């Protein structure tokens, strides 16, 4: 028997219920297909701005304080997030408070009023968030890397947008964007934890069943074009250089994704990984270094991120590339393969001990319109990866025409890295 149940309301809204009787908490999560990849240049940042505004008042709860106070009065952990392809709103509470939490979350999703004074005030908050990110090179370099890969299209733009665009947004533009994207057929409601299934289904229908259907505006497909290594160097006087080095990959539906996950873990996933041992252990050149695969519905990449001693940047880049050369040239050892698989599957099971992680696991699969698989099924797919699968996917994506480097540090010219930036 599957550990979850799926329902679809007449208006197209999808419901995923994941009962966990032993859980001490319940999470209600609303996910909608709205993110920065659904924007155009004039409104870049509006998805994230809208997420903020939904907490600023509804018809039933007209002030931000009323929303926050009610959720805090029931002991809720609550927040929201925006990514390239989705926006999420959630509240996590004890099981006896879930109906009230669901009522608040549905209210901000369905009936936010977008008061003009609150809208103008929140622009200042967004701008300070942009300032904070600009002052954080560890995060900023990730944006530079994605801009390098995708350029002037939604996948290459900042999720937060720019200050100029945020200043220009008005109430009508926000409402129009919400109407185009916050529609039931593009929305999934997930509840995970300890709850009565029949009562919860009835409660969700009461909260969300009355939303009218609407036409959904789709995102533009990502365009990719590259024939040789690229670099983006941003000068900053600093005691450490932050870099991201990686390769174009494929989308989240590709059959090679499980092999890529294991490859990434072997290269830079944890203290036992090749790069951690080489860059931090042997060279003493970085405090943090890790790799990750980032796959979305129509594009993806594999990247290594690191904070590096300014005097050892070229040496570190060379060492990273050397490990990529090795992994595409010879099969990984049985021991490395076993350790990487265990690391991935063990981490997954530990993360899924919490109801919010369970809700996210099932909800994101549904919102991206994948066939929902259970954690046990996900583990089987990882366990099925062979050394040959890893070698094949390495050969597919690790090449000069997909190689990219983004860097923030005391360097001014990309030419400084041309000699080392090649396989």
Active site residues per annotation: 51
Q: What are phi and psi of 158, to 5 degrees?
A: -70, 140
Report the first-to-last Cα separation within the chain, whole angstroms.
49
Paired tokens of 394: 């390495």
Indicate the Cα dihedral angle 271, 273, 274, 277, nearest 10°: 10
Alpha-carbon span 219 to 370, nearest angstrom:
17
Indicate the Cα dihedral angle 32, 37, 43, 49, nearest 10°: 40
> Which residue reads 């901000």 in tokens?
108
Please spell the DSSP secondary structure of 42-70, one letter per residue: GGTTHHHHHHHHTTS-BSSS-SHHHHHHH
Query: CA-based Rg of the chain, rounded to a whole angstrom?
Result: 23
Identify the three-state secondary structure at position 283.
Answer: coil
Alpha-carbon span 387 to 256, nearest angstrom:
13
Q: 3-state secondary structure string, 366-408?
A: HHCCCCCCCHHHHHHHHHCCCHHHHHHHHHHHCCHHHEEEEEE
> Which residue reads 């943090």 in tokens?
288
Identify the three-state secondary structure at position 25.
Answer: coil
Q: Are strands 230-235 and 87-93 parallel, antiparallel or unpaired?
A: unpaired
Sheet holding 14-19, edge to edge: 5-8, 14-19, 187-193, 26-32, 87-93, 77-82
């Amino acid at each position: 028997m599957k550990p979850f149940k799926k329902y679809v309301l007449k208006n197209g809204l999808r419901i995923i219920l994941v009962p966990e009787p032993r859980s001490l908490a319940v999470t209600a999560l609303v996910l909608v297909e709205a993110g920065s990849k659904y924007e155009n240049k004039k409104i870049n940042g509006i998805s994230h701005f809208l997420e903020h505004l939904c907490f600023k008042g509804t018809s039933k709860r007209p002030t931000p304080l009323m929303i926050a106070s009610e959720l805090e009065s029931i002991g809720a952990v609550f927040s929201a997030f925006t990514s390239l392809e989705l926006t999420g709103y959630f509240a996590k509470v004890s099981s006896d408070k879930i109906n009230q939490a669901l009522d608040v979350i549905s209210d901000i999703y369905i009936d936010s009023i977008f008061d003009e004074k609150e809208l103008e005030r929140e622009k200042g908050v967004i701008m300070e968030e942009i300032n904070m990110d600009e002052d954080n090179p560890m995060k900023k370099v990730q944006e530079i890397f994605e801009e390098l890969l995708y350029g002037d299209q939604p996948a290459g733009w900042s999720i937060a947008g720019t200050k100029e665009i945020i200043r220009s947004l008005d109430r009508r533009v926000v409402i129009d964007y919400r109407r185009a994207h916050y529609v039931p057929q593009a929305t999934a409601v997930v509840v995970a934890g300890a709850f009565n299934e029949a009562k919860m289904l009835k409660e969700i229908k009461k909260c969300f069943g009355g939303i009218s259907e609407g036409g959904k505006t789709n995102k533009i497909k990502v365009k990719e074009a590259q024939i040789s290594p690229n670099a983006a160097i941003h000068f900053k006087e600093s005691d450490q250089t932050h870099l991201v080095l990686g390769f174009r990959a494929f989308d989240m539906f590709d059959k090679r994704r499980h092999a890529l996950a294991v490859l990434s873990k072997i290269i830079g996933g944890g203290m036992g990984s090749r790069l951690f041992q080489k860059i931090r252990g042997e060279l003493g050149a970085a405090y943090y270094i890790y790799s990750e695969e980032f796959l979305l519905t129509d594009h993806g990449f594999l990247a290594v991120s690191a904070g590096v001693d300014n005097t050892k940047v070229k040496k570190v880049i060379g060492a990273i590339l050397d490990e990529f050369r090795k992994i595409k040239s010879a099969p990984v050892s049985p021991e490395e393969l076993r350790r990487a698989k265990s690391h991935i599957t063990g981490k997954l099971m530990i993360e899924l001990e919490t109801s919010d992680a369970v809700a996210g696991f099932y909800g994101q699969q549904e919102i991206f319109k994948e066939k929902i698989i259970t954690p046990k099924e996900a583990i089987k797919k990882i366990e099925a990866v062979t050394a040959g699968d890893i070698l094949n996917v390495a050969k597919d994506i690790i090449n000069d025409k997909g190689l990219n480097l983004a860097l923030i540090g005391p360097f001014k010219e990309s030419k400084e890295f041309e000699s080392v930036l090649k396989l």
